[in-house]
Structure 1
Amino acid sequence: MGTVERDEREEALRRVVVGVTGTPGNLAALHRAAAEARVRGAELLAVLAWQSPGGELGSRHSLGPSALAHCRAAAVERLRETLDTAFGAVKPGVALEGLTVRGTPGAALVDVARDTEDLLVVGTGSRTLVRRLVRPSVARYCLAHASCPVLAVPPSPLKAELEAVHRRNAWRVPLDLRELTP
């Protein structure tokens, strides 16, 4: 293998692609992707997929170019806010690039991470029965269709605890103080 080919191969190894949703549960995937990028000496590419209201069919008939530009601008702002929330003043320690892509999340991520040397990181999210019926799993789509390795990151255990607190508050169940002591 020549020097030029080796340099090109090393460049190809230096990209970790992570799906970004803007939800608090996605922070675990973002932080894991940043850690993987640091270990590999790779660039971190945060991708947020967006769709126009009504999907592609709705955008063909009812939305003009200015409405689509507004949707794209909203996606860019959401990506910026998500990365600020995830990393704040403490940057991830690797080269970070953000990208918004118009399309369904799974297909957009698989398309961006099309090189076999990329690493695609996705969050598994909460998969309640209702969510499975309403929204397909992006992680499953990526695992089935990606041409590169896929790392599926489960939600933080703290997320489950937070959801339990929210349910208890919604049902107005009093807090048992014995739960607070170790």
Structure 2
Amino acid sequence: MSQPGRVVVGVSGTPSSLQALRVAMGEAQREGVGLRAVVAWVPVGGEIAYRRAPCPELLRIWEQEAQWRLRNAFDEAFGGVPDVPALELVSLRGSAGPALVAAADRPDDLLVLAAGPRGGLARLTHGATARYCVAHAACPVLTVPAPALLADLPRRLRHRRPVSTGSGTPLTLAC
């Protein structure tokens, strides 16, 4: 017997990914399936830089930051993490495209993500994750256009992600 499908959504915290999260939640509720919200992260400077100078404490902080971004996305989209059955919050270390394709590993899953900006120049600098997922996913992929209100924001704010303010205590690292 095969497992029932899920809706898997890529979350980064940008306004476009919040729109994708809302659509994914609606699809999961409509279909009566679970929702798996995924945030992908890589160490600051990339994997190669981290391998040259590993610091487990920094790695823990970066993972906590990614988990915070995921919870914060639910706060911004719904006012908090909804109390719905079969909701899974997942933080995966790796590039967004491959991580999302790996998270949506069942043929009956639905992968939902932000489509990225339109226009030639924008496509060169953004939207690579959506293109990667459409090309490599083994399940259907739904790309969600940016919310209409995003066009009213100044260009420099359209793709910004929130940043954790932390606990306010000084940070001491021993790496």
After TM superposition, the structure 1 stretch with the greater mean CA deviation from structure 2, 81-90 or 26-35, is 81-90
Correspondences of 1:65-144 after superposition (within 5 Å) = 65-89=56-80, 91=82, 93=84, 95-135=86-126, 137-144=128-135
Question: Which has the greater radius of gyration?
Answer: 1
Give me the whole-angstrom Cα distance separating, in 2, the residues matched to 1:119 and 1:18: 8
Give me the whole-angstrom Cα distance separating, in 2, the residues matched to 1:71 and 1:128: 32
TM (norm. structure 2) is 0.81
1:12 alignment partner in structure 2: 4
> Once the two structures are superposed, what CA deviation does each residue of 1:4-41 show, in whole Å capped at 9, x if it has no partner?
x2xxx3x332x100000101221211111011101110
Give me the whole-angstrom Cα distance separating, in 1, the residues matched to 2:96 and 2:118: 16
Q: Is residue 75–residue 81 contact of structure 2 (8 Å, CA) maintained in 1?
A: no
Structure (1 or 2) with the greater helix fraction: 1
Task: Please state whether the residue corresponding to 2:68 is helix, strand or coil.
Answer: helix
After TM superposition, the structure 1 stretch with the greater mean CA deviation from structure 2, 47-56 or 84-93, is 84-93
Relative CO higher for 1 or 2, CA cutoff 8 Å, sep ≥ 6?
2
**1:152 corresponds to which of 123, 143, 168:** 143
Shift of 1:126: 1.7
Unaligned runs of at least 5 residues, structure 1 = 168-182
Q: Is residue 34–residue 92 contact of structure 1 (8 Å, CA) maintained in 2?
A: no
Q: Percent identity of the aligned residues? A: 45
TM (norm. structure 1) is 0.78
| Change in CA separation of 1:132 and 1:119 when aligned onto 2, cut-off 3 Å | same
| Change in CA separation of 1:91 and 1:131 when aligned onto 2, cut-off 3 Å | same
**2:32 corresponds to which of 29, 41, 51:** 41
The code of the aligned residue for 1:88 comes to G
